[in-house]
């Protein structure tokens, strides 16, 4: 067994240059979109006073949740002592930091008054889950920085399990907090559920592992040093469990909603209304069935079976899981606002001067897409920068 060593990742080549250029353009475009939205006001977006949280929130929540899950490899190695993930610990923590910054950036730039960020970090209402999240996000960032430091310093090796455990507990709190942002909204039928917190934890495991798998495959390609088969198969196994668990929570969530009569309208919207296509195709087919089928094939195949096919399956399954995760977040956030709030049980609303009849419509604008992708680009740029500046990438590994 060769000793574990790390290096800075400094890829060259036209393709890499193009990739970085694309990310920079997307990041700048995202900032421009945010500036325009802030300057002109949110009326240029698809958001209204019925749908006040739009696509930027879908991007922000997806990124933040994925950030928490991206720490999986580090947690597996440091806390559960799974040696196969040790070479990827630093990368895993760096990705978590990057995605979190990207997500929080989108969240902040979508505020009505992003210039008042200083107010958000100096005035706290501790009854608000949002306030807790300010601490959860900053705490997570600090923990991850310390975690990376310990991972890089030989003299702190004996402390890694402790910091890893702290980060694991913290990220579970973080995703619980994110889930609770929605779970505490008692006035909205589709959200009023304690199940959202554990569902967001599982969602983070799925999307975080998927994002990390894609990054590790890309890094391996740039290093011309393929991921070991064992790693590909282990990631496949993890993903299967996580995707299956997400499916379980989604089924329980919808079954309980269907059971409660007052939630029937919001369930109809998701299962058979304007959100149905995204739910059934985006989440169930692409996000659940697709990855499960592809990854099961990987596990059924012999260990020595075609490596490239196994790798490609993991790649497609991860991309599909990310699309599925984002679709689920969209259905949860937008779906909860599109359906009319029921104020008068036993009565039909005949007319309203402001949107109590029928479902609202929401069409995300280009500004929102721009800001969302800008956040993703900023996250990925930070990740590239971290890998370039610090020895976070494992060198050739053989056992």
Partner 1 sequence: MQSTSNSVSARRRFLQKLGLLGAASALSSYTLIEVSASTAQGASAVNRWGLLIDTAKCSAGCDACVTGCNEEHGIDATGRDDTRAQWIRKIDLQDNLTGRESSLPMMCQHCASAPCVDVCPTGASFKRDDGVVLVNKHTCIGCRYCVMACPYKARSFIHETISNQKSIAPRGKGTVESCTLCVHRIDANTGQQPACAEACSKDAHDAILFGDLNNPDSEISRSLKQHKAIEVRSDLGLNTGVRYTGL
Given the rule CB under 8 A, which residues bind partner 1?
Answer: 38, 40-43, 47-50, 52-53, 111-114, 116-117, 119-120, 123-125, 127-131, 134, 181, 184-188, 337, 341, 343-344, 346-356, 360
The answer to whether 311 and 226 have CB atoms below 8 angstroms apart is: yes
Nearer to partner 1, 192 or 267 (CB): 192
User: For residues 26 and 100, which CB has a smaller minimum distance to partner 1 in the complex?
Assistant: 100
Three-state DSSP at 7 gives strand
CB of 348 to partner 1, least distance (A): 5
Spell out the residues 6+ positions from residue 82 whose beta carbon is closer than 8 angstroms to its own.
76, 234
Least Å distance between CB 63 and partner 1?
17
Considering beta carbons, is residue 224 or 348 the nearer one to partner 1?
Answer: 348
Q: How far apart are CA 324 and CA 244, in angstroms?
A: 13
Tell me the backbone φ, ψ of residue 394, rounded to 5 degrees: -70, 140
CB of 129 to partner 1, least distance (A): 7
Least gap, CB of 256 to partner 1 (angstroms): 17
Residue with tokens 């680009």: 377
Residue with smaller CB distance to partner 1, 75 or 133: 133
Nearer to partner 1, 17 or 41 (CB): 41
- Closest distance to partner 1 from the beta carbon of 56 (Å): 11
Q: Which of 325, 375, 365 is CA-nearest to residue 55?
A: 365
DSSP secondary structure string, 223-275? HT-PPPHHHHHHHHHHHHHHHHHHHHHHHHHHHHHHHSGGGHHHHHHHHHSTT
| Residue carrying the six token digits 């196969």 | 84
Angle at 70 between CA 295 and CA 212, to 5 degrees: 50
3-class SS at 326? helix
Closest residue by Cα to residue 293 from 230, 249, 243: 243
Nearer to partner 1, 356 or 395 (CB): 356
Q: Which is nearer to partner 1, 114 or 391 (CB)?
A: 114
């Amino acid at each position: 067994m060769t000793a574990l060593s790390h290096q800075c990742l400094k890829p060259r080549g036209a393709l890499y240059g193009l990739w970085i250029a694309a990310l920079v353009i997307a990041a700048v475009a995202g900032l421009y979109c945010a500036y325009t939205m802030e300057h002109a006001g949110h009326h240029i977006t698809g958001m209204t006073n019925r749908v006040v949280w739009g696509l930027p929130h879908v991007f922000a929540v997806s990124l933040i949740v994925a950030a928490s899950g991206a720490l999986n490899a580090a947690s597996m190695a440091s806390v559960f002592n799974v040696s196969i993930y040790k070479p990827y610990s630093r990368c895993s923590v760096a990705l978590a930091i990057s995605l979190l910054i990207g997500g929080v950036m989108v969240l902040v730039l979508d505020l009505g008054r992003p210039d008042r960020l200083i107010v958000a970090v100096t005035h706290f209402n501790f009854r608000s889950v949002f306030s807790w999240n300010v601490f959860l996000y900053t705490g997570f960032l600090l923990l991850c920085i310390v975690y990376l430091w310990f991972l890089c310093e030989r003299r702190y090796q004996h402390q890694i399990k402790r910091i890893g455990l702290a980060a694991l507990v913290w990220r579970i709190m973080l995703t619980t907090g994110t889930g609770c942002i929605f779970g505490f909204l008692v006035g909205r039928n589709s959200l009023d559920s304690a199940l959202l917190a554990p569902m967001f934890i599982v969602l983070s495991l799925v999307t975080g592992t998927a994002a990390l798998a894609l990054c590790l495959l890309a890094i391996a390609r740039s290093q011309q040093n393929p991921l070991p088969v064992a790693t590909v198969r282990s990631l496949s196994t993890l993903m299967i469990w996580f995707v299956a668990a997400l499916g379980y929570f989604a089924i329980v969530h919808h079954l309980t909603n269907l059971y409660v009569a007052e939630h029937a309208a919001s369930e109809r919207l998701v299962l058979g209304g304007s959100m149905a296509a995204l739910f059934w195709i985006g989440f169930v087919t692409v996000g659940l069935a697709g990855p499960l089928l592809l990854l099961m094939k990987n596990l059924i195949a012999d260990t020595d079976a075609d490596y490239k096919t196994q790798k490609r399956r993991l790649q497609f399954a991860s991309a599909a899981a990310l699309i599925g995760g984002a679709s689920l977040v969209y259905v949860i956030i937008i779906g909860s606002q599109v359906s009319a709030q029921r104020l008068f049980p036993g009565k039909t609303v005949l007319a309203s001067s402001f949107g109590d009849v029928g479902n609202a419509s929401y069409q995300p604008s280009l500004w929102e897409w721009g800001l969302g992708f800008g956040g993703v680009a900023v996250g990925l740029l930070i990740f590239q920068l971290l890998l370039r500046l610090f020895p976070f990438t494992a060198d050739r590994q053989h056992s």
